[in-house]
Amino acid sequence: MADGSSQPRILAIHAHPDDVEFQIAGTLALLKEKGCHITIATMTAGDPGSAELSQTEIANIRRKEAKVAADMMGADYMCLEFGDLAIVVDDVSRRRVTEAIRRARPNVVITAPPVDYMADHEVTSRLVRDALFSASVPFYKTHEWDAAKPTEKIPHLYYCDPIEGVDWFGNAVPYDFIVDISKTFDLKLKMLAAHDSQRAWLRRQHGVDEYLNSCTTWSQTRGKLIGKTYGEAFRQHKGHPYPHSNILADLLGPLCHVAKS
Ligand SMILES: [Zn+2]
């Protein structure tokens, strides 16, 4: 694969610090065990996530928390430095995401779903999908200093769950398969707990450890559908020109439970 190893390079890219932990980390940990190289990327540093600190102060804290979480898995971490509630589809943004993809050089990308409860998630999904195509186009320049070279081919693309698995109207969003993450759930929860500033903030707001509780409950909800303790659900992008083979199912074997159609 891209780095000369025999296993695929995986890029998990979502909007905010903690989104990857909430929706994808259990599966990433399984893929890491299979020898895959993992990169976790967030579009923002989570700058408005505090009532007391300045945007710069909280962004610095949250970037560090995201790195600590990624280190627990042995994953690389990068932040694309967009602002919270300010991720938009435009030329500059598409070039920035393209540069990140060229640097990560993934064979597999897992990102936010096209429909979710907030714009940052939906726009991330759109930018990543567009940029994966742009990344392979030789004449498409990112205008970055020391720009990475174009990618060789379009990676496999997957979407994680939207929050609570529903669309704007409360209808369940379909999934293609659920991964049994029972083996890696403890690590997933520890990674989420590393986002201590968010956890503390939500604990003050709700009076309970809402952060970890909601992740546990959602993972149990997905796991129950396949008769396992914990699960994460995914949908594959199969539009032109993305590969159709299910490389995650091939890598994960019996841990991947494909939905019956
Ligand atoms: Zn988010």
Pairing of β 156-160 and β 177-180: unpaired
Q: How many helices (H) and strands (E) does the chain have?
A: 9, 8
* C-alpha 102 – ligand 1 centre gap (Å): 23
C-beta neighbour count of 206 within 10 angstroms: 12
Digit-coded pLDDT (tens) for 18-58 = 999 999 999 999 999 999 999 999 999 988 766 778 888 98
Contacts of 195-201 with CB under 8 Å at 24 or more apart are 195/17, 195/18, 195/21, 195/62, 195/65, 195/66, 195/69, 196/65, 197/49, 197/50, 197/58, 197/61, 197/62, 197/65, 198/17, 198/18, 198/46, 198/49, 198/62, 198/65, 201/49, 201/50, 201/51
pLDDT of residue 2: 47
**Beta carbons of 165 and 116 less than 8 angstroms apart:** no
Edge-to-edge strands, sheet with 108-111: 76-82, 37-44, 9-14, 108-111, 156-160, 231-236, 177-180, 256-258
| 241 upstream amide cis, omega within 30 of 0 | yes
pLDDT of residue 82: 97
* C-alpha 138 – ligand 1 centre gap (Å): 32
Regions in the chain scoring below 50 on pLDDT: 2
Q: How far is CA 208 from CA 165, 192, 200, in A?
A: 23, 16, 10
pLDDT of residue 133: 96
* C-alpha 112 – ligand 1 centre gap (Å): 9
Digit-coded pLDDT (tens) for 123-159 = 999 999 999 999 999 999 998 889 999 999 999 999 9
* C-alpha 204 – ligand 1 centre gap (Å): 19
Q: Rounded to whole angstroms, how far apart are CA atoms 187 and 209?
A: 17
Contacts of 152-156 with CB under 8 Å at 24 or more apart are 152/2, 154/241, 154/242, 154/243, 155/11, 155/106, 155/107, 155/108, 155/109, 155/242, 155/243, 156/107, 156/108, 156/109, 156/236, 156/242, 156/243, 156/245, 156/246, 156/247, 156/248
* C-alpha 247 – ligand 1 centre gap (Å): 26
* C-alpha 46 – ligand 1 centre gap (Å): 9
* C-alpha 226 – ligand 1 centre gap (Å): 26
pLDDT of residue 52: 79
* C-alpha 1 – ligand 1 centre gap (Å): 30
* C-alpha 183 – ligand 1 centre gap (Å): 25
* C-alpha 5 – ligand 1 centre gap (Å): 32
Positive/negative CA dihedral, 184, 65, 221, 164: negative
* C-alpha 22 – ligand 1 centre gap (Å): 9
* C-alpha 120 – ligand 1 centre gap (Å): 7
pLDDT of residue 216: 97
Q: What percent of the chain has pLDDT over 70?
A: 97
**Residue partners of 123: CB distance under 8 A and separation at least 6:** 15, 87, 88, 89
* C-alpha 128 – ligand 1 centre gap (Å): 15
Q: The pTM is what?
A: 0.95
The per-residue b/e assignment along 84-108, b for 16 or more CB within 10 angstroms, e otherwise, is beebeeeeebbbbbbbbbbbbbbbb
* C-alpha 208 – ligand 1 centre gap (Å): 20
* C-alpha 116 – ligand 1 centre gap (Å): 10
pLDDT of residue 209: 79
pLDDT of residue 49: 61
Rg from Cα positions in the chain: 17
